Amino acid sequence: MKNLTFLALGVIVFLLAQACQNNHPKNYNHPDIDSVGKTFIKTAIEGGLTEVKASGLAITNSNNQRVIGLAKMMINDHTNADSALLKMEADKVIDGKDTISTVHQQMIGALSKQNGAAFDKAYLTMMVADHQAAVDLFTNVSKSTDADVNKFAAATLPAIKMHLDSARSVLAALK
């Protein structure tokens, strides 16, 4: 009788485990993304959030139409890229809150206190530095084994290079 009870309990546990497994969301069983891919997604999202926030300041704190035009392009392009990255982050079940780093928050805080030509120079210098770092990030992610990450990086890299060239051009025109 004791053996029959253990057998019945075993069958029940097995059936419950099977039932629970079938109730997980579709992406629950998604293969783990490698650490290079995770780091890329989190870093790229943080960079995009930073660019959008800084560019919002450019629209209000600058009087230069080229700077404002660049800022509008940054907001549009980074908002679209971040949407794709956030979807990838959700699909790959990557946990963690997406925020702007302390360093970037301090840079944005400093930008928010400036206006006119001083703002323009600080904003454009930030855009050049951040986009150079983004070019490096998007180029080096090819070490990831995740095909989605590599495809996104390859498709987005030309726009980032164009942002870098545009920021450099507008900065050079200020001098």
Condensed to tens digits (0 to 9), the pLDDT of residues 49-65 reads 999 999 999 999 999 99
Q: Is residue 139 part of a domain?
A: yes
Q: Is residue 119 part of a domain?
A: yes
Q: Is residue 2 part of a domain?
A: no
Q: Is residue 144 part of a domain?
A: yes
Q: What is the total count of domains within the chain?
A: 1
Q: Is residue 17 part of a domain?
A: no
68-124 per-position pLDDT tens digit: 999 999 999 999 999 999 999 898 888 878 899 999 999 999 999 999 999 999 999
Q: Is residue 111 part of a domain?
A: yes
Instruction: Say what the pTM is.
Output: 0.79
Angle between helices 147-174 and 65-91 (to 10 degrees): 170
Its domain, for residue 128, covers 34-174
Cβ-based neighbours of 156, under 8 Å, separated by 6 or more? 81, 138
CATH number of the domain that residue 155 is part of: 1.20.1260.10
Query: Where are the alpha helices (H) located in the chain, listed in sequence order?
Result: 2-22, 35-61, 65-91, 102-112, 116-140, 147-174
Q: Is residue 122 part of a domain?
A: yes
Q: Is residue 27 part of a domain?
A: no
